[in-house]
Amino acid sequence: MKSFITLFNALIDSLKATVGPIRPRDAAHAMLLRGAWGYFGRLARRIDRLFARWQAGTLPKPRAPRPRAARIAPAAPPTYPRMPNRNAWYARDSREGRIRGTQLHHLLLTHPEFPAFLAAAPQLGRLLRPLCRMLDAPLLPALALPSRPPKPRPVKPRLTKPRPAKPRRQPPTPHQAAVAPQPPQPAWRQGLRPAFPNRRPLWDD
C-alpha cells in the first residue's frame, strides 16, 4: 500500500488540474482561482515537510493548548489572495473539485498511517480543516475543534418603575350610607303596577 503522503500529493496534483477548466466570471474570480492553485501547492509542501519530520522522528512534542490571543495585523499584506471561509466555495465552482473532496475524505478515513500522523502532529488538523471546508468534505471527529463554552452574558439590572401607592378606602359616612343606592330587586319581588297611575293598585308588596 502506498504511503499517506504519496496518495495525498497525487490528490493535490489532480486538484490543481481542476482549476484550469473553470471559466472565471470576472477579474476578482480569476484572481481567486489563481490563489487557490497556489494554495494547493503550498499546502502540499507544508504537509510533505511535516510528514518527513514525522518519519525522521524530529517532530517536537505537542504542547498543551494555550488560550487564544488577540490577532495582530501583519505589517505587510500577503502577496496572494486570502481564501474565503465559506463552506464548499470551491466545490460549487468545480464538479471535479467536489469529487476530489470525496476522495480526500476517503483517504483520511481509511488510510492506516493518518491516525498516527495526526496524533504526532496535531498542527496537521489546522492545515486540513480549510481544505475539507472548501471541498465540502465531511470533517472527521479527530479533526474537529472542541466546541467553545458560551460566553457568560452580563446580567443587566432590571429597572422597575415605582408604583404609586393606592389610597386607602375610607369607610362610608352615615350620610353616604343612607343615600347609597340600593341594589335592584329581582323581578319576582317587584309588584305589578296598573297602567293607570291615578288608580290604586290591586295589590302591592
Give the per-residue pLDDT at 71.
56
Q: Is residue 143 part of a domain?
A: no
Split into its structural domains, the chain has a count of 1
φ and ψ at residue 188, rounded to 5 degrees: -75, -15
Give the per-residue pLDDT at 191.
56
- Which residues, given as ranges, of the chain have pLDDT below 70? 62-81, 172, 175-205
Give the per-residue pLDDT at 13.
93
pTM of the predicted structure, to 2 decimals: 0.64
Nearest of 86, 143, 98 to residue 118 by alpha carbon: 143
C-alpha cell at 126: 489546522
Domain that holds residue 12: 4-61+83-134
Q: Is residue 78 part of a domain?
A: no
Give the per-residue pLDDT at 7.
94
| 33 membership: H or E segment, kind and range | helix 27-56
Q: Is residue 95 part of a domain?
A: yes
| 162 membership: H or E segment, kind and range | none
Q: Is residue 125 part of a domain?
A: yes
Q: Is residue 12 part of a domain?
A: yes
CB-based contacts of 85, cutoff 8 Å, min separation 6 = 130, 133
Give the per-residue pLDDT at 153.
79
Q: Is residue 108 part of a domain?
A: yes
Give the per-residue pLDDT at 117.
92
